[in-house]
Structure 1
Amino acid sequence: MRKLIYGMNLSLDGYIATAGGDIGWGVPSDELFQWWLEREQAIEVFLYGRKLWETMSSHWPTGDQQPGATQAEIEFARNWRDTPKVLFSKAIDKADWNTRVVTGDAIAEITRLKAEDGGPMRVGGATLAGAAMRAGLVDEYEIVTHPVLVGGGTPFFATLDGRVNLNLVETRAFPGGPVVTRYERR
C-alpha cells in the first residue's frame, strides 16, 4: 500500500495562500529548497487539485530553462516533468507533462491508487487535500511554517469530522526562520 503525504509551505497563522492567492511570502532559502527537492524526488506520483496544478504548471515545465536557474531548480523542474501526475479537475480535461486528468470521484481514485504497490504519493491543493484528510487517506503531513502572518486566505488544514492523532517524526529550522515539522498518523 502506498503512503499519501500532504505537505506545503504555510504562514504562521496557517494559510497556504493569501485571500488574493499570493504565495510569494513562502520563498525558500537555498537550503530549504534543497530539502523540498529531496522530498519531491522520493515521490512516485503527484496528486493535484486544479489551483495548485495551475500554479505548478505555469512555471515548472520550463523552470530549468529560466535565466539564473540554480542547479536545485533545474533538478526540481526535471523531476516535476518526469514524475507521473494526476490532476483532479472538472474544469480541465487535458494536461501535459506526464499528467492524467480525473474528472470523477477523487476519493475513489485516491483510494484505488493508495491500494496499489509503489512508492509514496503527494497530495497538493487545499481542497483536494482536505477531502483526502476527511476520508482518512493522509498518512503524513509535511508542514513548512514560514515566519509571516498573512491574516487570512486558504487554510492548510480542512475542517475534520473528528480528531486525528499524530506522531512527530522530524523538526528542522532553516535560514530565514522557516521550520519544518513532519507528522505521521498514528
Structure 2
Amino acid sequence: MRTLNFAMNVSLDGYVCGPGDDLGWSVPSDELFQWWSDRVAATDLALYGRRLWEAMSSHWPTADQQPGVTPQHAEYARRWRAMPKVVFSSTLSALDGDARLVVGDAVAEIARLKAEGEGHMDIGGATLAATAMRAGLIDEYVLATAPVLVGGGTPFFTSLDRWVDLTLVETRTFPGDVVVSRYADRPER
C-alpha cells in the first residue's frame, strides 16, 4: 500500500499562504529548495488540488528553459515533469501536460490510489489535503515551518471531528531558522 504524505511550507501560526494568497514569506533557502527537489524525485505519485496545480503548472513545465535558470531550478523542473501527477478539480474540464484529471469523489479515488501500489504519494493543496485529512487518509504530515506569523490566510490543518495522534519521526533545521518536522499518523490504540 502507498503512503500518503502532506508536505508544505507553513508559517509558525499554521498557514500555507498569508492573506491574499501571499507566499512572500516562504521563499526557501538553497538547502531547503534542494530538500524539496529531492522529495519530488522520491515521490511516486503527486496529488494536486486545482489552485496548487495551476500555480505549479504555470511555471515548472518550462522553468528549465528560462534565461538565467540555476542548475538547481532546472533539476527541480525536470524532476517535477517526470513525476506522475493527478489533479482533483470540480471546475476544470481538461489539463495541459501529462497529469490525469479527477472530477469525481476525491476520497474514493485517493483511497483507491493508496491501495493500488507501493511507494510514496504526496498530496498538495490545502483544500484537497483537508478532504483527505478528514477522511483519515494521510499517513505523514511534513511541515517546513518558517519563523514568521502571517496572521491569517489558508491554514495547513483543517477542522477535524476527532483527535489524530501523531508520532514525531524527524526534525531538521535549515538556513533561515526553518524547521522541518515529520509526523507519522499513529494508529488508534
Q: State the TM-score, normalized to the length of structure 1.
A: 0.97
Secondary structure of residue in 1 paired with 2:13: coil
Asked if structure 2 preserves the Cα contact closer than 8 Å seen for 1:82 and 1:97, the reply is: no
Give 1:3-18 correspondences, 5 Å limit: 3-18=3-18
Tell me which amino acid in the other structure corresponds to 2:174. F
Secondary structure of residue in 1 paired with 2:151: coil
Q: State the TM-score, normalized to the length of structure 2.
A: 0.95
Give 1:101-120 correspondences, 5 Å limit: 101-120=101-120
RMSD: 0.9
Cα distance between partner residues in 1 of 2:146 and 2:41:
22
Asked if structure 1 preserves the Cα contact closer than 8 Å seen for 2:7 and 2:124, the reply is: yes
Cα distance between partner residues in 1 of 2:14 and 2:149:
8
2:156 alignment partner in structure 1: 156
| Unpaired segments ≥5 residues, structure 2 | none
1:82 alignment partner in structure 2: 82
Give 1:36-115 correspondences, 5 Å limit: 36-115=36-115
Cα distance between partner residues in 1 of 2:70 and 2:147:
24
Cα distance between partner residues in 2 of 1:30 and 1:58:
22
Cα distance between partner residues in 1 of 2:99 and 2:11:
29
The alpha-carbon deviation at position 97 of structure 1 amounts to 2.5
Tell me which amino acid in the other structure corresponds to 1:168. L
Cα distance between partner residues in 1 of 2:61 and 2:170:
31
Asked if structure 1 preserves the Cα contact closer than 8 Å seen for 2:46 and 2:85, the reply is: yes
State percent identity of aligned pairs: 62
